Structure 1
Amino acid sequence: MQDRVVVEQDRPAAEVMNNRIIEVVGRDIVTGVTSPGSRLTLEGLQEKFGVSRTVVRDCMQILEAMNLVYSKRRIGLVVQDPSRWNVYDPRVIGWRLSGPGRSEQFQSLTELRIAVEPLAAAGAARRASPDQRERLVLLSRRMREAAADPEAFLAADIAFHALLLQASGNEMFAALSEVVAEVLSGRSRQNLMPSGPRPEALDEHEAVAAAVAAKDPAAARARMADLLLEVEDAILHHE
């Protein structure tokens, strides 16, 4: 019983260390500190972080799943070219948004949203459940109420867009919820949000929610397109 308690107490510390290793190595790769083709060894990483070979191997398997590195026999781990990265992984997105190419990353992610979210809004107008329609309206109102509280506003904004994607009835769109959440969080972390939400943005969120609630796919699609064009304009003018 005592051993079990010790294991349970140590687990959070182990998870923190694993996350730190993944964060440091992954961020260095994505931001260009570690260039494509560079060789990483388990021994070198063990020495750098002061952890066991097993811990390092587990962390590198996660980075392999992101296609940031690959294993090569007798060589070790090799850093992948950016064209091979899993660019939809939220962690990869977060690291890219913190690096020197953040403007291009924001632009490409905004273009993705412009391509997807208007169709998702139309799908939600057709397929959302009564509860989802009601919650979308409530979230749009919560955003306006939280306009003076950046953290509360961001939470409501993320919840709004995640619900819209899920309510679309398209599982491919729903799978992008974490991507959009990372984009919205990244804008806040990188100080690319206006000092307060623009009145036009609040109006558009409410208009999208109203169109979904009214089961009007054309209006929902148009209003979401207007909203995202406003987002694109805000990012371009900030840069």
Structure 2
Amino acid sequence: MPTVVLHSAVVDTLGLRITGGALEPGRVLTLESISAEFGVSRTVAREAMRMLEGLGLVRSGRRVGLVVLGIESWQVLDPRVIAWRLQGAGRVDQLRSLTEMRHAVEPLAAAGAARHAPAAVRARLGEIAARMRALGEAGEGDHAEFLGLDVEMHELLLRHSGNELFGALTDVVAAVLSGRTALGLMPASPVPGALEQHEAVARAVAGGDPDAARRAMEAIVGEVQEALHRLP
């Protein structure tokens, strides 16, 4: 098996354990124990731990080993950390936190796109919203295509908001949208109001109306927040 596959498997398993609480802060790991458990070389184990250290999940220390760190040290916006947390017992709380962040950022990004997006992007947003409408009204349509279009729309708005910091969050938002779907936390069919608001965002951006774009995006993310608050 290729080395990159081996250390990816180790990273994913340990990442899930740390973010899920099975490996608590302060727990000490060693390259020897990792090598033995996963049947990999020390080189593979070392590379895996370097990746986890880069994500803030562990800290290496001379004569100490590898110490598991708490959430305050994690790179919580890294898509890998998000994906691990969404697979853990606290996935709903993670989605709630990320949705609150989206509520703070995405309405402003939509307003920015209404000011700054080039003509080709404005046109594409209209195409996306129309296709999402068609898929939503089809009922049992192509859920993978719908998700892909939803992700593309939000990414375009962030990237063309005129704010490079918003643009840097595209992978985060994609991870949230994909994670909500993968965990079965999306409705079986798109909420009609959500389809209307995606169309409203596209119209507002096309028409250069920042206020309308902001309000429509607030409604989209607000619907998600309400759905999450209804969960136990």
Q: TM-score range by the shorter chain?
A: over 0.9
1:59 aligns to 2:52 (yes or no): no
Letter in 2 for 1:226: A
Structure 1 moving runs of 4+ over 6 Å: none
Provide TM-score, normalisation by structure 1.
Answer: 0.92
Look up the match of 2:39. Answer: 50
Look up the match of 1:207. Answer: 200
Look up the match of 1:174. Answer: 167
Cα distance in structure 2, aligned partners of 1:169 and 1:55: 41
Cα deviations by residue, 1:152-202 (Å, 9 ceiling, x for unpaired)? 111111111111100102110011001001101110111100011111101
CA RMSD between the two structures: 1.1
Provide TM-score, normalisation by structure 2.
Answer: 0.95
Letter in 1 for 2:104: A
Map residues 154-173 of structure 1 onto 2, 5 A cutoff: 154-173=147-166
In structure 1, runs of 5+ residues without a counterpart are 1-9
1:189 aligns to 2:182 (yes or no): yes
Cα distance in structure 2, aligned partners of 1:17 and 1:144: 42
Q: Check whether the contact 1:139–1:156 (CA below 8 A) recurs between aligned residues.
A: yes
Percent of aligned pairs with the same residue? Answer: 50
Q: Check whether the contact 1:118–1:220 (CA below 8 A) recurs between aligned residues.
A: yes
In structure 2, runs of 5+ residues without a counterpart are none
User: Which one of 68, 71, 75 corresponds to residue 64 of structure 2?
Assistant: 75
Look up the match of 1:233. Answer: 226
Worse overlay, 138-147 or 113-122: 138-147
Deviation at 1:207, TM superposition (A): 0.4
Letter in 2 for 1:165: L
Cα distance in structure 2, aligned partners of 1:156 and 1:17: 33
Matched positions, count: 228
Cα distance in structure 2, aligned partners of 1:60 and 1:145: 46
